[in-house]
Structure 1
Amino acid sequence: MKIECEGLTKSYFAKRAVDQVNLELTGGHIYALLGPNGSGKSTLMKILSGLVKKSEGSISVDGKQLDWRAREDISYTPTEPFFYSYMKVSDVAAYYDDFFKDFDRARFYDLIKDMEISPDMKVRSLSSGMLAKVKIAAAMARRSKLILLDEPFNGIDLLSRDVLAKMIIGEMSEGSSLVISSHMVEELESIVDMAVFMKNGRIAEMCDVETLRINENKSIADKYREIYSEV
């Protein structure tokens, strides 16, 4: 799948949360979507997933305008909790199975088992780290061509972040694309191969991570500091 955004804009009255974004996402890559709060990362993800309507611009998938059929191949996981507190983990599986035809329930159960989470656990009893694992397991158990994870490492400890990073890499479907937004730039160094930096709703820079290391002798964190040092 190749997704192309041209002149993509989202306005809220006089403010542009996303401003004339031109971006191409291609299969087989893991992208870091980076920037400080208010830079437009979450809004861009919500536009791609269909949760927010664009104000201007176009989005195409493999050369065709993005429609509801193509959005069936896009999985979005927000940073906010979105499961009901009365649910068990098994109810989360049933919920995804009902709504998404590409959801693999057996795969989901294998993933949570590897992370020592029981299907009988109540959502309200889960720690923030365990809840993050369930959310990402549900996202990765879909056979989506584009996976959008918004701040998946928020509020969880270092060891849990390591587990999640390994799961994300291990469960990527061949030919699919993954976009991860995060403030924890260093955590993405070993995961991503492309970095997209957003600033004031625009794309400030996009680079190949390996090329950045070789040609400029810089990490993603170095580039982040360079772009946002005055923010």
Structure 2
Amino acid sequence: MYSKLIYFYSLELIFRLLYIFISFLLCALVASINIYYLILFEVYPFVVYELRKFIITNVTDLFDVLWLLVISKSFFFVFPYWIFQLSSFSSSSWYLYQIKFFRRSFYFSFLIILIYLVFVHFGLLPFILSVLTKWKINSTNLFDIFVEFRIISYIKWVLAFRYFFSSISFFVLLVVLHLWFLVKINRIYLFVKCYRKLFIFGFLCVLFLLIPPDNFLQILCLGIAFFTFELVFLFVCYKLCNKKF
């Protein structure tokens, strides 16, 4: 009997993996057909303020760009279907509350990741690129600086930055939620009260090492950091007062 169960479950798993592989191939085919729109979507943060040029130093750069975009987008769009197939395969041994918890967790995680990706692509990336490329040609200087990007380096940097920032932000959100629901509010209040200034100092030190030496940008980051940490502390105090009364 156990051998039959192993056979049927193995067969089901193989078919589900085959469905995932076929879906990945179909996504890759659609992405290959619409590669022009994929490139336009990726370079949007760079051209949103001012149209600039991309350079190609190797003959295979365009092929590398096409290959990288097709593979990354295919993995991204097939990932929800992959989670669905694996959860459907494993749900036969789950309780009903486990299935509901998994679905809610998956919907919440996917929605948060999607919000992060949209914010990074249409909000944060254009701002960062506008700051990094704000060198202008000035005839009074001893030399001129022309800012141009290699398209393959730009695509790799954008993909790495977007997915890395979204993953780190989502991980921090999960840690905060777990601490919020598992740690008592009194301990959170004492922790924020004692180490708030230390966190602000460390965050600003790291931030000032990364951002360019622009006075307005540094003052803006300083104000946002203080406002964010003080707002978190105010929210913790509010929750603590409501709990007492």
* Structure holding more helix per residue: 2
Task: Say which one has the larger Rg.
Answer: 2
What TM-score does the superposition give when structure 2 sets the normalisation length? 0.22
What TM-score does the superposition give when structure 1 sets the normalisation length? 0.23
